[in-house]
């Protein structure tokens, strides 16, 4: 009873929600930069970043600290944060659109699609004119979009009402198929093997500022598009027919949301490989804390997702230091049981 | 308000709907009926702009449907779907607020005071304002449907489309919802077009009905014209019977169960079933009989199994004689719900009864008569009017199946026979000095087994009428003679 009261109170207080989520993200960011083989005090981190932004010089701090923070840890946590944010907001949008708390870029096969795009780029050494370095993320996005489109068409063919289970199953089938495709390319590959494997394992380490430059435009575009469709997502979570009755241009909005979701997923996969379950767990957690209203769910998921992935990355590189675990391992270890819990909860609700 | 012109089309290449045309005026409650698969939902989806049609056109407020943007349309037409999904636990207020989507403009889609006012207003109208902070998952089916209605109303629509709105709703919610809609349409605030599964609800609430059959219009007209027995029987391919609503002028339809037609043994009501007790005469039938009577208990049309004629004192007076009679019946072990009970001040020994048969048709008549209050009906204004226990009570049991017309004709025939019997016994109205036509408180019962041969009429020269007049005349006369002899 008391718990319910607290939750209701929290759900109403949106300012508190944003404050807490922001504090969580900033705290994760600072911890992520601070902890490692060399510990950097948080006060120093703030000074180093402040000096860099406002262009004043600091002499009393060890230049090695400056180098570690600015060249190694800062880009790493920012990249982790962006990837986490991208996956979480995309997951929240997919879940709203498909009225399905089990949907996320990973279970829908979108991540696998994006991987195929990336692997194809590396395997054939493709470099498209004009976009150059952006070829890999661009093709990832394109493949992600094609995959989500195929998955949904296929699911609709099997079952007109597009039940949750049908979509998930279709996503899993596509993931397996695309996985096999990637394996095929790996076994045929010669020189690029190491590059592909390293990329596939999924990591945000040693990527540097270049990768942030790659993901940032996609991230901004995708998030802005999704957040502009918060109310439409609310309407569509009552069913597409219902949304249309309410005045939503469903066909157009659905296409925008699917495109934006694919852009975010594709870009995230392009810079960090496949990292599963972030898009599943974070929106679910955010929804149960602050309510399902997408106008708030999307930005809150974004903040929480970025903080979450920064912390996960911190665990991945410190838990058996000096060896680094792939970040995807940690998210899967947390995510898979969470997936199971959500599934059981849904069954219980339906049965009761 | 809405004009549908010759539309055809449907889901697949094969047309589901063919050549549908109708119009609905402002403030109408218009019902769409039809068996499963007749295209009702398809038609509604076309009107709501969800489903394209191949031919024809739909005009809403004199503007073509295709010229409306989705948002413009949502400001005029709202839809209450048959059932709704709710994947996430939105609160009631969040759900209702979504109804304002079409009215909000601009990139930021700011929530204005007007929006808030309208949302609060429709929540109050549908009685969900007290639930506004609850989650949808915590609500009952009826409450959820009212939330959906509130959401549709938050669109401030001029036309409301409903797909079997009362499906899954309890009886009380069905009535509540339709009462609200009826009030709003009557006030001209709303035009309602609704699919109905339940023909009786449609008959009760709609102004006009459209009956679909295999994708085509069978008829569109006033409810009474559409809900014709043979038409419904034909379209729905089942046995039904139409009857009048007991309280309001609305057609009602009821199913005829298969066992109604099953061969059953004919039952013969005879003198053996009549028992003469000290304070009452009772006839117990082995089966319920269809009755039309003017008894104290069980009057009107009904089905009854026990028939009681109770003797009371001449001075009997009770403020609630019906209640008192019910108690009497219960006390004697009769179920008042399946008993026709009459009262008489006549000595029960004066009872006269006769079983008569002709050409396979038989009837049994029981009469208790006294002429203490004899009245000439043509001069009845000379008499005071207070309740006095009945004096000529006539029971007619008919061992056949008869129509409602026959019941009424039977009563007329029986009355004519009674009048002649009184005249032949020279019974005089003591106030006017003329021949009496009856007494002031006569009661009559006609009960039929509804088994065996069917008799449509009971006028004086029909087979049934002849038996009735003969038996009633004979019994009334004999009973009066007995009573006269006693004096």
Answer for the pair B101, A247: CB distance below 8 angstroms, yes or no: yes
pLDDT at residue A162 above 80? no
Q: Which of B41, B42, B52, B70 to mutate to test the interface with A (most CBs of A within 10 A)?
A: B70
Confidence grade of residue A5 (pLDDT, cut at 50, 70, 90): very low
Decide if B271 touches A, using CB distance below 8 A: no
Arithmetic mean of pLDDT, A235-256? 89
For chain B, the C-alpha Rg in angstroms (whole number) is 31
Query: ipTM of this predicted complex?
Result: 0.82
Nearest CA to B311 out of B280, B337, B354, B350 is that of B280
Say if the Cβ atoms of A246 and B99 lie within 8 Å. Answer: yes
Collect all residues of chain B within an 8 Å Cβ-Cβ radius of residue A96: 88
Q: Is the dihedral of CA B94, B96, B102, B105 positive or negative?
A: negative
Set of chain A residues whose Cβ sits within 8 Å of the Cβ of B50: 241, 244-245
Closest by Cβ to B81, choosing from A8, A100, A242: A242
pLDDT in tens, B130-152: 998 888 888 888 888 889 989 99
pLDDT at B24 over 60: yes
Residue A7 has pLDDT above 60, yes or no: no
pLDDT exceeds 70 at position B450? yes
Look over chain A and give the mean of its residue pLDDT values, rounded to a whole number.
85
| Residue B78 to chain A, least CA–CA distance (Å) | 6
Nearest to B94 among A228, A248, A293 (CB): A293
Phi/psi at B220 (5° precision): -135, 125
Could you give the residue ranges of the DSSP H alpha helices within chain A? 2-12, 14-34, 42-54, 63-67, 74-97, 110-124, 135-158, 164-188, 193-200, 208-227, 230-236, 240-245, 250-272, 278-290, 294-318, 327-351
State the average pLDDT over residues B195-219. Answer: 91
Nearest to B442 by CA among B404, B388, B363: B388
Neighbours of A265 (CB within 10 A): 33
Instruction: Report pLDDT for A351.
Output: 44
pLDDT in tens, B340-350: 999 888 888 88
Tell me what pLDDT residue A6 has: 47
| Residue of B73, B88, B138 to mutate for A, most A C-beta atoms under 10 A | B88
* Contact flag A247-B101 (C-beta cutoff 8 Å): yes
> For the ranges B107-121, B150-164, B283-297, which has the lowest average pLDDT?
B107-121
Cβ of B106 under 8 Å from any chain A Cβ? Answer: no
Tell me whether residues A246 and B84 touch, CB distance under 8 A: no
Q: Is B310's pLDDT higher than 70?
A: yes
Cα Dmax for chain B: 102
Cβ contacts of A8 on chain B, cutoff 8 Å:
133
- For chain A, give the number of residues: 352
CB contact under 8 A, B71 and A249: yes
Give per-residue pLDDT as tens, B170-183: 788 888 888 988 99
Residues B98, A287: C-beta atoms closer than 8 Å: no
Please list every residue in chain A whose beta carbon sits closer than 8 Å to the beta carbon of residue B155.
246-247
* pLDDT cut 90: percent of chain B above it: 49
Three-state DSSP state, A152 = helix
pLDDT at B267: 87
Q: What is the pLDDT of residue A193?
A: 74
| Residue B88 C-alpha, separation from nearest chain A C-alpha, in angstroms | 6
The C-alpha atoms of residue B106 and residue B118 are separated, in whole angstroms, by 19
B70 touches chain A (CB under 8 A): yes
Task: Report the percent of chain A where pLDDT is more than 70.
Answer: 92
Q: Is B115 on the interface with A (CB under 8 A)?
A: no
Over residues B61-90, the pLDDT tens digits come to 999 999 999 999 999 999 988 777 777 889
> How far, in Å, CA of B34 to CA of B192, rounded?
18
Averaged pLDDT for residues A62-69:
86
The verdict on B457 touching A (C-beta cutoff 8 Å) is no
């Amino acid at each position: 009873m008391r718990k319910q009261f607290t939750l209701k109170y929290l759900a109403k207080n949106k300012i508190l929600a944003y404050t807490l989520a922001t504090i969580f993200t900033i705290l994760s960011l600072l911890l992520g930069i601070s902890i490692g083989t060399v510990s950097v005090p948080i006060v120093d981190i703030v000074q180093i970043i402040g000096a860099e932004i406002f262009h004043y010089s600091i002499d009393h701090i060890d230049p090695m600290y400056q180098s570690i923070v600015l060249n190694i840890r800062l880009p790493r946590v920012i990249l982790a944060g962006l990837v986490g944010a991208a996956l979480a907001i995309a997951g929240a949008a997919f879940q709203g659109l498909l009225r399905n708390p089990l949907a996320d870029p990973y279970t829908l096969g979108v991540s696998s699609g994006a991987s195929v795009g990336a692997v194809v780029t590396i395997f054939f050494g493709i470099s498209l004119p004009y976009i150059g370095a952006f070829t890999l993320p661009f093709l990832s996005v394109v493949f992600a979009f094609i995959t989500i489109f195929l998955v949904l068409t296929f699911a609709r063919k099997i079952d007109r009402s597009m039940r949750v289970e049908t979509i998930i199953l279709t996503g899993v089938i596509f993931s397996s198929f695309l996985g096999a495709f990637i394996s095929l390319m790996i076994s045929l590959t010669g020189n690029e093997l190491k590059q592909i494997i390293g990329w596939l394992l999924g990591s945000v380490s040693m990527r540097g500022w270049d990768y942030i430059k790659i993901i940032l435009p996609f991230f901004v575009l995708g998030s802005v598009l999704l957040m502009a469709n918060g109310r439409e997502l609310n309407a569509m979570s009552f069913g597409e027919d219902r949304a249309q009755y309410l005045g939503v241009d469903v066909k157009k909005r659905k296409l925008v949301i699917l495109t934006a979701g694919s852009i975010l997923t594709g870009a995230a996969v392009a810079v960090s490989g496949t990292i599963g379950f972030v898009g599943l767990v974070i929106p679910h957690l955010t929804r149960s804390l602050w309510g399902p209203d997408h106008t708030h769910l999307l930005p809150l998921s974004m903040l929480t997702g970025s903080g979450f992935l920064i912390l996960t990355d911190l665990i991945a590189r410190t838990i058996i230091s000096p060896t680094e675990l792939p970040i995807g391992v940690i998210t899967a270890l947390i995510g898979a049981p969470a997936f199971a819990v959500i599934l059981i909860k849904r069954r219980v609700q339906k049965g009761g | 308000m809405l004009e549908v012109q010759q539309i055809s089309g449907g889901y697949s290449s094969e047309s589901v709907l063919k050549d549908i045309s109708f119009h609905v005026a402002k403030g109408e409650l218009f019902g769409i009926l039809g068996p499963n698969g007749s295209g009702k939902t398809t038609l509604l989806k076309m009107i709501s702009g969800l489903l394209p049609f191949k031919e024809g056109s739909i005009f809403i407020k004199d503007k073509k449907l295709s010229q409306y943007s989705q948002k413009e349309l949502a400001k005029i037409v709202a839809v209450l779907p048959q059932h709704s999904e709710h994947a996430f636990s939105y609160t009631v207020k969040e759900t209702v607020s979504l109804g304002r989507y079409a009215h909000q403009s601009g990139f930021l889609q700011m929530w204005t005071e007007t929006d808030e006012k309208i949302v609060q207003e429709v929540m109050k109208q549908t009685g969900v304002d007290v639930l506004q902070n609850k989650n949808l998952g915590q609500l009952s089916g009826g409450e959820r449907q009212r939330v959906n209605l509130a959401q549709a109303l938050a669109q401030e629509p001029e036309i409301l489309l409903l797909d079997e709105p009362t499906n899954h709703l309890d009886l009380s919610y069905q009535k509540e919802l339709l009462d609200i809609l009826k009030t709003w349409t009557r006030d001209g605030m709303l035009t309602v077009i609704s699919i109905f599964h339940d023909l009786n609800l449609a008959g009760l609430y709609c102004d006009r009905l459209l009956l679909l059959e295999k994708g085509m219009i069978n008829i569109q007209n006033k409810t009474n014209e559409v809900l014709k027995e043979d038409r419904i029987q034909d379209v729905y391919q089942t046995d039904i019977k139409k009857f009048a609503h007991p309280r309001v002028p609305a057609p009602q339809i009821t199913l005829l169960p298969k066992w109604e037609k099953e061969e059953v043994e004919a039952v013969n009501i005879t003198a053996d079933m009549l028992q003469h007790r000290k304070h009452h005469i009772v006839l117990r039938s082995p089966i319920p009989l269809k009755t039309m009577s003017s008894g104290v208990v069980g009057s009107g049309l009904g089905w009854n199994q026990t028939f009681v004629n109770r003797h009371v004192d001449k001075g009997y007076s009770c403020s609630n004689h019906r209640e008192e009679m019910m108690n009497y019946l219960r006390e004697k072990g009769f179920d008042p719900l399946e008993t026709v009970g009459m009262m008489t001040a006549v000595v029960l020994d004066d009872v006269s009864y006769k079983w008569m048969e002709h050409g396979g048709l038989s009837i049994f008549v029981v009469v208790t008569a006294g002429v203490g209050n004899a009245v000439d009906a043509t001069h009845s204004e000379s008499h005071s009017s207070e309740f006095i226990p009945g004096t000529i009570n006539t029971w007619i049991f008919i061992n056949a199946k008869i129509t409602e017309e026959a019941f009424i004709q039977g009563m007329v025939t029986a009355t004519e026979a009674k009048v002649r019997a009184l005249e032949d016994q020279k019974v005089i109205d003591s106030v006017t000095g003329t021949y009496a036509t009856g007494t002031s408180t006569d009661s009559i019962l006609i009960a039929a087994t509804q088994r065996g041969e069917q008799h449509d009429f009971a006028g004086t020269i029909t087979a049934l009428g002849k038996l009735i007049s003969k038996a009633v005349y004979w019994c009334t006369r004999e009973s009066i003679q007995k009573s006269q002899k006693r004096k």
